[in-house]
Amino acid sequence: MSSARDGILGNIRRSLRRGPVGGAALDEVKARLAMPPRGPDVARARLPQPEKVDLFCHWAEFNNATVARVDAAGVPAEVANYLARNNLPAEAAMAPGAALEGYDWASQKMLSLRRGRGEPSDQVSITGAFAGIAETGTLVTASGPDHPVTLNLLPDTHVVILREADIVGGYEDVWERLRARFGKDRMPRTVNTITGPSRTGDIEQTIELGAHGPRRMHIVVVRD
């Protein structure tokens, strides 16, 4: 496998008229990996934290998500009320992470939760999020035992619990947080960026929700 890879990379270097990797070029690559430079960011997201939260909510709603802002104690009631308002079943598949278990789900007697990965029969999923990006109203999720990727994709309705403290300005802030949280050699298998519910305009440029995933996204922003 290593020989095949080296052969492919060698062909690419030759086509680019570059010699073997070594010397100053190799030192430059190692330095870049050790201290990755920040890319450009957008001025509109360089804001105090309360204004970043407002900007995130604005763009999330612009992109067809619904948003509720509640205290931590109000999270379970907001989820149950959202399901009732939309005539959805009072049951959901929930990510098994410790952060979500910190909310008082038992206070909602009619809400039935199953912890684990998403299944094709699930209509609603509840997950956390690694971060929210104020610049675009985008959610970022990192896969792992506490967040099965299937919960992002299979159910028709995706409810996301997002702390205000996890809302950042732009994408570059997310990459820095990922490296700090997981380490450069232990990144999650999948990092998903999700901007509103799934949609497509492929057919006659008419927007259709739920094309490749959930048709509804409800974001519960938890006040610090």
What does the pLDDT read at residue 168? 97
User: Between residues 23 and 166, which one has the greater pLDDT?
Assistant: 166
How many CB atoms neighbour CB 109 within 10 A? 8
Q: What does the domain layout of the chain look like in residue ranges? A: 1-35, 42-222
118 backbone dihedrals φ, ψ, rounded to 5°:
-75, 145
Strand, coil or helix: 154? coil
- Predicted structure pTM score: 0.85
The size of the chain, in residues, is 224
DSSP state of 44: G
Range with the poorest average pLDDT among 28-42, 53-67, 135-149, 160-174:
28-42
Nearest to 109 by CA among 122, 123, 91: 91
What does the pLDDT read at residue 138? 97
Percent of the chain with pLDDT over 70: 93
Token readout for 193 is: 């960026």
Token readout for 149 is: 């990727």
Strand partners, 107: none
What does the pLDDT read at residue 64? 93
According to DSSP H, which parts of 16-85 are helical? 23-34, 49-62, 75-85
3-class secondary structure per residue, 171-200: HHHHHHHHHHHHCCCCCCCCEEEECCCCEE
Percent of the chain with pLDDT over 90: 69
pLDDT band at 109 (very low <50, low <70, confident <90, very high): very high
The residue written with tokens 């309360």 in the block is 50
Residue 37 C-beta-side C-alpha neighbours within 13 Å: 7
54 has a pLDDT exceeding 80: yes
32 has a pLDDT exceeding 90: no
Q: Which CATH superfamily does the domain covering 42-222 fall into? A: NagB/RpiA/CoA transferase-like (3.40.50.10420)
CB 192 within 8 A of CB 144: no
What does the pLDDT read at residue 30? 82
User: Between residues 25 and 74, which one has the greater pLDDT?
Assistant: 74
pLDDT band at 24 (very low <50, low <70, confident <90, very high): confident
Sequence-ordered list of residues with C-beta below 8 angstroms from that of 139, at least 6 positions apart, any chain:
60, 129, 131, 132, 133, 160, 162, 193, 194, 195, 219
pLDDT tens for each residue of 157-201: 999 999 999 999 999 999 999 999 998 778 899 999 999 987 676
